[in-house]
Every structure is written in C-alpha cells, then in structure tokens.
A and B are shown apart, each in its own frame.
Chain A
Amino acid sequence: EVQLLESGGGLVQPGGSLRLSCAASGFTFTNYAMSWVRQTPGKGLEWVSVISGSGSRTYYADSVKGRFTISRDNSKNTLYLQMNSLRADDTAVYYCAKVEWGYYFDYWGQGTVVTVSS
C-alpha cells in the first residue's frame, strides 16, 4: 500500500525558513518523480514543484522559484521542500504527491500545515 506522510509544518514569521519532509513507502521510490502541491486557505490547489526520480531534474512554480528548493534522499525514501524567504501568501496546506508517468498525481499525503505570520 502506498503511503505518503508529510511533516515539518508549523508557524513561521515572514522572511523565515522551514523544511518539509515526506516519508514514502509501498513503492519503489527512486522510480518515480515526486511533487509538492499546496492549498491556500479558501482557495484551490496550486502545483509547487516536482523532482525526477533520480533527483537530477527539478521544476518550480513561478510563485516559489528562487525561494523554495525541492530535493530527495532515495536511500531514505524521503522527499523534502526547503522553503526560504517565506511570505504570508505561502500559508497553506502542503501535500506531497507521487507522480505517475510524469503526468498526473496518483497518490497524495494527508498534508502538513504551514502558517506564515508575525
């Protein structure tokens, strides 16, 4: 059974940093791209970033480019999102998702809440 478990969310001041983690199990982690998707309060889902199975290729939404860094440790079956220079509009529930064939998200975690506020 595929399981994705996010952690690392919390309350952080504007300009601060936070690192999210996503522990994966139930599939061969290194074979799949992984992604972060967020849902801001009262709004819909927004794709944030994706990383290839090997970790060699990464892509970002314009809204987080230059501030967020996606990475993975295939030896630990864990996905990360390093978030720097956080802003109030980064407040959201952050989900990690397994990417199937590179085109869609077939499994999602339960999410971790990030609140950026002073």
Chain B
Amino acid sequence: QSALTQPASVSGSPGQSITISCTGTSSDVGGSKYVSWYQHHPGKAPKLLISEVSNRPSGVSNRFSGSKSGNTASLTISGLLAEDEAEYYCSSYTSSSTPYVFGTGTKVTVL
C-alpha cells in the first residue's frame, strides 16, 4: 500500500485560503467514505481536523473544510492564521490488507 500523494508545501498570507490535495487510488481515497485529515505541530500530538471526508469534529474551527472528487481528497483552510502553520496529513481507510494509509504530508507556511 503506497502512501497517498500530497504536495510537499503550500503557503499563503494571513486571511487567504489554501487547499491541500491528497491523491490516492480506487482502493483507498476513491473507494472510501473514510478520508480524514490531521494537523501536526512539531513536538505535539497530531489533531483530527476532518473525518469521513468532510465532517468536522466538535471544537474544530469551521475554517477547515474537506471534500473529495474521484481519487483526490482536499482540505481547505480559509482565513489563514499564523497558528495554522503546521504539517497536515490525510489518511484513508482502505480495502486492502493494510487497513489504513497516510499521505506524504504537507507543510503549510503562513507568510
């Protein structure tokens, strides 16, 4: 099971919107309702941002939103804040013998 493909880095100015893509296959992203997104600040515990493609857990800012089209899922961060500077990972439940796969990770920089 290969890692899902994410851009290595994305940047934006405060207040702007950015979108991070996550490309897989029909065995994972394309065929799964269970795509999730995580925010990871260095030295801290990763945090769940989005579950089941577009569901936002209680307590997560509505500036974070998720979507999916075909084999590609996307995370959009609107109204970018300095505190959004972190690494972001997608993940998918898969139909293979390896039930979970993560993306390669995207470093978000707030300019």
Name the contact of A35 in the complex, choosing from B44, B89, B98, B100 (C-beta under 8 A).
Answer: B100
Q: With A95-B45, A104-B93, A106-B57 known to touch, is A44 a contact of B51 (CB < 8 Å)?
A: no
Q: With A44-B3, A104-B48, A106-B51 known to touch, is A62 a contact of B34 (CB < 8 Å)?
A: no
On chain A, which size bracket covers the interface?
20 to 34
Q: Which chain B residues numbered 19 to 76 have a C-beta less than 8 Å away from chain A?
A: 34, 36, 38, 40, 43-48, 51-52, 57
CB distance A59 to B102 under 8 Å? no
What's the tally of chain B residues with a CB closer than 8 Å to chain A? 28
Q: Which chain A residues numbered 47 to 67 have a C-beta less than 8 Å away from chain B?
A: 47, 50, 59, 61-62
- Closest partner residue, chain B, to A110 (CB atom): B45
Find chain B residues with CB under 8 A from A107 CB: 45, 48
Q: With A44-B3, A103-B34, A105-B38 known to touch, is A110 a contact of B44 (CB < 8 Å)?
A: yes
Report which A residues bind B (CB closer than 8 A). Answer: 4, 35, 37, 43-47, 50, 59, 61-62, 95, 97, 100, 102-111
